[in-house]
Amino acid sequence: MRLMPLDTDQPAMSIAPITLLFGVHAHQPVGNFPAVIDDAHLRCYGMFLRVMEGYPDFRFSVHFSGWLLDYLLEKFPDDMARLAAMTRRGQVEWFGSGDCEPVLAAIPHRDRVTQINTLADKIARHFGVRPKGAWLTERVWEPSVVSALTATGIQYVAVDDYHFLCAGTDATKLDSFYTTEDDGQRLDLFPIAEAARYRLPFSPAADAVAWLEDLARQGHRAAIYFDDIEKFGIWPETYAWVYEQKWLTQFIEGVLASPLIRTDTFAAYHAREKTRGIVYLPTTSYIEMNEWTLPAPQASVYHALVETEKAAGRWEAHKAFLRGGTWRNFMSRYPEANWMHKRMLEVSQRLAELPTAQRTAAMQEHLHRTQANDAYWHGLFGGLYLPHLRRAVWRHLLALEADLERISPSPALACRDIDCDGYDEIILHSDQLLAIIRKDGDAALAEFSSLTLAHNFGDTLRRHAEAYHQKIGADNTAATEKHGITSAHDRIAFIHDITPADATPDLRPRGIAIDTLIAADGTRHALTNYRHDDTPGQFVAEGEDWRVEKRYTLRSDTLEIAYRIASNIEGISAFSGQLETQINLAMPSCDGLGGRYVLADGSVPGGFGQALTLTSLAQLTLADSELGGGGVRLTAVPPLPTCSGQPHHTVSQSEAGFEKIMQAVCLTLRWPATGEWQRITLKITSAA
């Protein structure tokens, strides 16, 4: 066959436009301060919606967590009306998820279903549509979530392209959705482009549009973006960049003006296109999260390995094989997160076992709020280090537990391994209190909760070693770049003055009744060898010449911790030394104005954020306005010779920078060994 010569006068083959699938995710943690949410709406949510409203041809997708959506509907109805109007005209597609933003993989299947359905019902009620797509919290993927998603009508989710690379998918073919299945249940998966996440909105708008056009010229079907809306106004320096310097307006107008780019919703694209094929993703999250899940030494090794690969130019080729950890590692990294998680699972099981007629919507809401992801993990984001977020989880957990107790009371005494750490816990119940003691060598309280106040006074956090502590003392260079702005991932800033000493890790837990024996020569011996002596709530620790008995008793609104120190040498009744115990109490006001110490005569020696030194202490009340004026009244019989108090701080890093956060009041009590019982009582008080 004779080939005809190429006609160079013919027009070049037209380039098919690329479809921009643009989605934003909005969330605020359950328990966050109203002022923070108001500011987020002022600088981000409201601004974003008002800009988008002016461009009806720019289609996009949104996900709002249910808890945040409730707040915005109540406080900012005009902006929610804008969103509803954009939904009605087909500009906006809604994505669902768990109502209170749980990591679906971390909660039972039954709760995944109720969480997803609750938010879907809420969106349908207020915006007239039911989501076909779902946002995966922190993009944590485990195959087990497929069944709950499909059971609730979800047809597709968006996860990082990194997830696909870890499965060995060809990087050049991550421009459309794939299909996966679990136990025969099918779900489609859109790969979010990491390159888009790092460009939008940090590179100049014209550069971002040009990048999309280059993808079109390369033949890409779609550019897939779905990321935190907070990058558009809340992250450092983004408000000025996105709105005052009009990045968002320039980007939208650039996209709409380009013949090589068209916008669409995920739903419309999904309806007209075919899957690229079958894929099975491994358990993973986004790259940064996988690093954050690792303990500090391993995280440092991992980070150094990543930097080596980047310096050698091998990172893009090798990153799928350098995966770090998985989200559930946070439960093994942080005992405090693990305890909260396992207690949540317990109340979930108790609610599930309750006859349907006895369950209420309020109970279900309490459970959903205990499952909000933020307080269970920590990285550049995540709220484990934020006491008010942990407190919100405990408040709802204990409110639910109080409801369950009224229907089916727990026994006054139980013993089981709640947190799966290999040690049983002794659970003491009264009509008002819950005291849980670990049967490990410390024999300290793991939890001390008031059902009436819905507060866990044992909810504190020890100082953990964190890989980013190595940056303390680093010079924070200028945050702005010549072209664009710096992402929070690359920024070093300090909210407070912090020294390396502030981040020294704790060697023992920050519990209630952490004991140390002080010998006559002043040497200190941590009491980590307590054994349970088969009497409920009673423990014994022994050394060569001493014996310490420790006994817990719970009555209504009062916990008593009693100690007796004696000689272990035959013929000698007294031990010459002292015993010191550390009582860490999580007071909700922390170092704010609402928390103060009150002596028996009514005088106030200071607030929780101040140092305290007392002698001959018989009574001390920790009063907290966040508890409606209630608090903890400590009494000692006989009076204690010395008592000192100080705030316990941790050092953490957020997108705003390094900060010191008060976690608890740390009271240190000390008395001499007399051979007699020393009784310390903690009475939970309510407002007078």
Question: Which residues are the active-site residues?
Answer: 138, 228
Consecutive H or E run containing 150: helix 146-151
DSSP summary character for residue 434? E
Separation CA 13–CA 8 (nearest Å): 12
CB of 508 within 8 A of CB of 666? no
Write out the two tokens for 39.
């500011």
Separation CA 517–CA 551 (nearest Å): 16
DSSP of 601-651: TS---EETTS-EEEEEEEEEEEEEGGGTT-EEEEEEEEEEEEEEEEEEEEE
Consecutive H or E run containing 79: helix 77-88
User: Hey, what amino acid is at 113?
Assistant: V
Separation CA 305–CA 313 (nearest Å): 12
Q: For residue 521, count CB atoms less than 10 angstroms from its CB and return exposed for 0-12, middle for 13-18, buried for 19 or more.
A: exposed
Separation CA 566–CA 548 (nearest Å): 7
Separation CA 302–CA 468 (nearest Å): 13
DSSP of 339-350: HHHHHHHHHHHH
Write out the two tokens for 462.
């020890």
Consecutive H or E run containing 158: strand 156-160
Helix axis angle, 335-353 to 109-127, nearest 10°: 80
How do strand 524-526 and strand 512-519 relate by DSSP bridges? antiparallel
Dihedral over Cα of 151, 152, 153, 155: its sign = negative
